[in-house]
Structure 1
Amino acid sequence: MQVPVASLPKISFEFFPPKTPAGVGKLHATSATLAAWQPEFFSVTFGAGGSTQAGTRDTVFALQAAGYEAAPHLSCIGSSAEQLRIILDAYKTQGIRRLVALRGDLPSGYGGKSAGQFRYANELVSFIRAETGDWFNIEVAAYPEMHPQAPSPDDDVANFVRKANAGANAAITQVFYNTDAYFRFVDEVRKAGSDIPIVPGILPITNYAQLIRFTETCGAEVPRWMQRKLASFHDDTASLCAFGTDVVTEICDRLIAGGAPGLHFYTMNQSAPTLAILNALRPDITHGSLVAVAA
C-alpha cells in the first residue's frame, strides 16, 4: 500500500550522541538529510545510568543551532534532585522545549547500590512539572509487549497511566514487530483512563544478529517466521535489507491505517534505512534533492 501524502502522520527521529569527530560529521549529514522530511523533532539518547548526558546535551544544542527542534532524553537513574534541577535549567535557558523522560537502565555493576533519588519515571515527570511548570513537552516510554521488569500486563498498563497522569504529553513505544500488540496496548491504556498520544517506535532492519540481541535486551519479540526468513539471507545484506524494508513498511502501513498518531524512527545515526521506508510509504515525495531510495 502507498500511503497518501495527507495521511502520513507526524514523524520524528532518534539519534545517539556521537563519540568521535567522524561520528559528529556523520550525524550532521544524517540530520540534514532526514530534516528534509520535516520531522516534528529529533530526540537524543543517553547511556545506561544516565551516562553520556554531556554528549546528549552537546548533541541537542548542536541540532538546535542547526535550526531543528531537539529533545534530550533525561534519566532519573543515578541522579539527585539538584543534578536534575541543573540539567533542566540548562535546557530551559537554551530554549529547549521538549524532553523524553525515562527511568533509564541501570548500568552494570550497580547491584544493590542506590539508583538515585528517583526510582521511577512518574517521579521524574512529577519533578519536572513541579520545577518547570508547562515549559516542556514531556514524552515518556510505552511498552506494547510489556516492560521486561513489569510483574504483569495489568501492572504495566497501570504504571504507564501513572506516568501519563504525572504530566506527560505523549509517549513513544519501545520497538515492536507485532501491530496487534500496539493496538491492544493502546486500547487497554484508554480503558484505564489515559488519552495521551502513543507514538509507535520503528526500528529499520539491517542486521539479523544485532536485531536479535537488541530485541532480547529490551523484551521485544521478533516473530518466528521473520527470524527464520532473516536468518536465511546469511551474508546477503542487500536482500536482508530489502526484506526488512518491506516488512517494516507494511507494519507502518498498518499502524497508519489503524490511527497511530505518528512514527518515531530509531535511526542508529543512519539515514538510508529510514529513508527506504519513508520513500516506500510516500514514493511521490522527493523533497528537492532527496531522491527515492529503492525498497
Structure 2
Amino acid sequence: MKVIDLIHNTERTAFSYEILPPLKGTGIDKLYETIDALREFDPKYINITTHRSEYVYKDMGNRMFQRNRLRRRPGTVAVAAAIRNKYNITVVPHLLCSGFSREETEYVLLDLQFLGVTDLLVLRGDKAKHESAFIPEADGYMHATELQEQINQFNQGIFVDGSEMKVTATPFSYGVACYPEKHEEAPNIDTDIYWLKKKVEAGAEYAVTQLFYDNRKYFEFVDKARKAGINIPIIPGIKPFKRMAQLSMIPKTFKVDLPEELTREVVKCKNDEEVRQVGVEWCINQCKELMEHGVPSIHFYSIAAVDSIRDVAKIIY
C-alpha cells in the first residue's frame, strides 16, 4: 500500500519516522535497534535518507594533499530492502538531485523497481560542504521538479535517453519537502508556496515539513497553502529538543525560530538530561495540539532522538 493510502486509511494520526543509513563500515545492527525501539507504535512507514558524496582531502606528506570523493553513508537502497524484508514495513528512500546525475538516478530507480520499493521522497538536497551555493552534478538537476519529471517519465516506461522499456512495473509514488518557515534560499514565504504548488502539479501526493517548534508557523503555512490551491496532506515533521547546544545549533542549521517559551525553559536547565525532559514535554504538547487539529500523520526525525521520541510516542500513541 502506498504511503498516501496508508495515511488516508489510518483512523488515528499515523506515526512515521526518518532514519539515517549507517556510517560506512559500521553495520546495520544499531539501525535495527532504533526500529525495534519504536516498533510498538505501529509505524506506517520509515523514511531512509540519502547522502551525496563529499570531497575529502588525504594528507600525502610533503605538503601534498589528494582530493577524493567519499560517501560516508552509502546503502540507502540496500537498507530499504533490508528493513522491508525484516520488518514488513513500508519504506520510503529519499531521492536527491544533489550529488546525482540523471543516469545515476535512473539506476537507483531500476534497483528500487526490482525490489518492489515504489514509494519515494523527492528532494533537491543540500549543497555540498565545499559549495557556497547549490551546484547540480553534470547532467543533473537544479530543482526537485526536474527530478519529478524524470520519475514521471520512468513511470510511463521512458528511460532518460528517450528509449522505451520493454517491461514496466508498479509506478513510483512520491512525496516532497516543504518549509513552514520557508526554505533558506527562498526570498519569501509566497515564493516558497509557489514552488510547492509546482511540485504538487508535477505529481507530489503529500508533503513533509522541515522540523519546527512553533505550531502557529505550521498552521499559518497550511492555511496559505490551502488558499493557494494546494490540497495534498501536509505532514508535520517533528524532532524533540534535546540538548542545550541546540539553542544555537537548530536555528543556524535548520533556519527555524525557537519559541521564547521553550527557550526560557531550556535556559533554566542545569544539564542536558533536564533539557531532554523539557524537550519531551514540549513535543508531547506540540503533538497533542497537532492531533487536535486533525493532522493525518506526524513524522519524526529520529537522529539522536530515539529515546525522546519513544517517551513522546508512549503518551500520544
Same fold (TM > 0.5)? yes
Are residue 174 (structure 1) and residue 210 (structure 2) matched?
Answer: yes
Letter in 2 for 1:12: S
Letter in 1 for 2:174: I
CA distance in 2, matches of 1:52, 1:124: 23
Match of 1:198 in 2: 234
Letter in 1 for 2:77: R
Contact 2:144 2:199 in 1 (8 A): yes
CA distance in 1, matches of 2:21, 2:52: 13
Q: Which runs of 5+ in 2 are unaligned?
A: 1-9, 55-70, 157-169
Match of 1:287 in 2: none
Note the alpha carbon deviations across 1:4-35, whole angstroms, 9 max, x for none. Answer: xx974011110011116656212112112312
**Post-superposition offset of 1:163:** 0.8
**Correspondence for 2:42 among 16, 38, 44:** 38
TM-aligned CA distance change 1:12 to 1:57, over 3 Å: same
TM-aligned CA distance change 1:179 to 1:12, over 3 Å: same
Match of 2:115 in 1: 94
Are residue 17 (structure 1) and residue 17 (structure 2) matched?
Answer: no
Letter in 2 for 1:57: V
Structure-to-structure mapping, 1:112-151, within 5 angstroms: 114-116=135-137, 117-133=140-156, 135-151=171-187
Match of 1:104 in 2: 125
Note the alpha carbon deviations across 1:65-120, whole angstroms, 9 max, x for none. Answer: 21221111110123221111111111111110211100000111234784132111
Are residue 245 (structure 1) and residue 242 (structure 2) matched?
Answer: no
Are residue 69 (structure 1) and residue 90 (structure 2) matched?
Answer: yes
* Higher RCO, Cα 8 Å, sep 6+: 1
CA distance in 1, matches of 2:213, 2:17: 18
SS in 2 for 1:108: coil
CA distance in 2, matches of 1:206, 1:23: 26
Contact 1:140 1:172 in 2 (8 A): yes
CA distance in 2, matches of 1:15, 1:112: 26
Contact 2:240 2:305 in 1 (8 A): no
Q: Which runs of 5+ in 1 are unaligned?
A: 1-5, 283-295
**Structure having the higher Rg:** 2
CA distance in 1, matches of 2:28, 2:247: 24
Match of 1:184 in 2: 220
CA distance in 2, matches of 1:207, 1:21: 28
CA distance in 2, matches of 1:70, 1:148: 28
**Post-superposition offset of 1:55:** 2.4
**Correspondence for 1:208 among 234, 244, 247:** 244
Note the alpha carbon deviations across 1:30-64, whole angstroms, 9 max, x for none. Answer: 11231222211110112356955732222212111
**Post-superposition offset of 1:225:** 2.8
Match of 1:292 in 2: none
Structure-to-structure mapping, 1:266-285, within 5 angstroms: 266-268=301-303, 270-282=305-317
TM-aligned CA distance change 1:270 to 1:228, over 3 Å: closer
SS in 2 for 1:54: coil
TM-score (norm 1): 0.86
Note the alpha carbon deviations across 1:191-220, whole angstroms, 9 max, x for none. Answer: 111111010001012212136313321211
CA distance in 2, matches of 1:277, 1:185: 24
Match of 1:261 in 2: 296
Identity %: 30
Give the total of aligned pairs. Answer: 276
Stretches of 4+ aligned residues off by more than 6 angstroms:
none
Note the alpha carbon deviations across 1:201-251, whole angstroms, 9 max, x for none. Answer: 01012212136313321211111231232122132x332222111111111
SS in 2 for 1:241: helix
SS in 2 for 1:40: strand
SS in 1 for 2:289: helix
